[in-house]
Structure 1
């Protein structure tokens, strides 16, 4: 992020839009598999909400709208930047994944910034605790306790989490399965 912003202070909506344009240009080739796209905030001292809205959240919205296989994740944010990200998630009723990574892109910790409704949170937690899951297995294992009569509700929940950019969707023919956005050691 400091390379794009040319310094440790990320501020202003116009500068955020410039960063968004640089991000889009940098990720013009899609990966073969759904992949976390780390936006590394190492060495960033301050980032304003307007900058983050026009860069990070604009990129996440853009990627999800075009069904990209890139899933933006903020990495190595300090407390000041975390506060600004939290403000945006509250104001927009959105969420974004955050993590701490080392120099080799190993995930040291991860956190969801923002709040999900209870059904989405439960589904997110189920996906996060699985290596691979689909709507049918969720229906089989949790349909009765959730009082769902078919896979449609599960498909809708999973699709909603994919559109928020916090779980990855994989296709195998017509079937879809889902994995956590971040795996340890990814």
Structure 2
């Protein structure tokens, strides 16, 4: 699903906490159904000239937290953010010790230039990189492949890392029976 951050008839300047809260409510209303499986929700900044940190905090990061709290299958992604918007997203991510996936999204829906806006602790960063590399991972497979290298003796640490990344909306969580497995939010096919 794609959501245009500049609604028809509005200016390409997104500013202010109050306007951000209004945008948050509009975004929640626009999500009128849940997808059948975990899916990226592209917040398209392509038409945005400027967005302030207060606006982004009350809209984008509030939406991200809300969707994770309600157990939604949508995972917000900041798409087509210009340098100014990227900097403001980074400011909020850093202040909140949070992160969000970003990318370029063509009009045909082709994804490129995937990156992380924000910072993770080294263990979470490694786990995110492994999930992105493997395309499909669970705690058992990570333990088998990387447990010795990470000096881990059980799957608990991997479970905690994966669950933490999923709770932050940085990897998608799936279920196979009672077991959970994880995939990148965005997957680029070569």
Which bin holds the TM-score, normalised by the shorter protein?
over 0.9
* Cα deviation, residue 28, structure 1: 2.8
Question: Matches of 1:154 and 1:5 in 2, distance apart?
Answer: 47
Q: Does 1:9 align with 2:21?
A: no
* Cα deviation, residue 148, structure 1: 1.1
Structure 1 runs (4+) deviating above 2 angstroms are none
Aligned to 2:118: 114
Give the root-mean-square deviation of aligned CA atoms: 1.3
Question: Matches of 2:120 and 2:94 in 1, distance apart?
Answer: 11
Q: Does 1:105 align with 2:124?
A: no
Unmatched segments (≥5 aa) in structure 1: none
Q: 1:4 to 1:59 in 2, by over 3 A?
A: farther
* Cα deviation, residue 55, structure 1: 0.2
Of 178, 182, 186, the residue aligned with 1:178 is 182
Aligned to 1:86: 90
Q: Does 1:154 align with 2:163?
A: no
Question: Matches of 1:25 and 1:50 in 2, distance apart?
Answer: 21
Question: Matches of 2:85 and 2:9 in 1, distance apart?
Answer: 14
Of 121, 127, 151, the residue aligned with 1:123 is 127
Normalized per residue, the structure richer in helix is 1
Q: Does 1:21 align with 2:25?
A: yes
Q: Does 1:134 align with 2:138?
A: yes
Unmatched segments (≥5 aa) in structure 2: none
SS in 1 for 2:43: strand
* Cα deviation, residue 86, structure 1: 0.7
* Cα deviation, residue 5, structure 1: 8.1
User: TM-score under structure 1 normalisation?
Assistant: 0.97
User: TM-score under structure 2 normalisation?
Assistant: 0.95
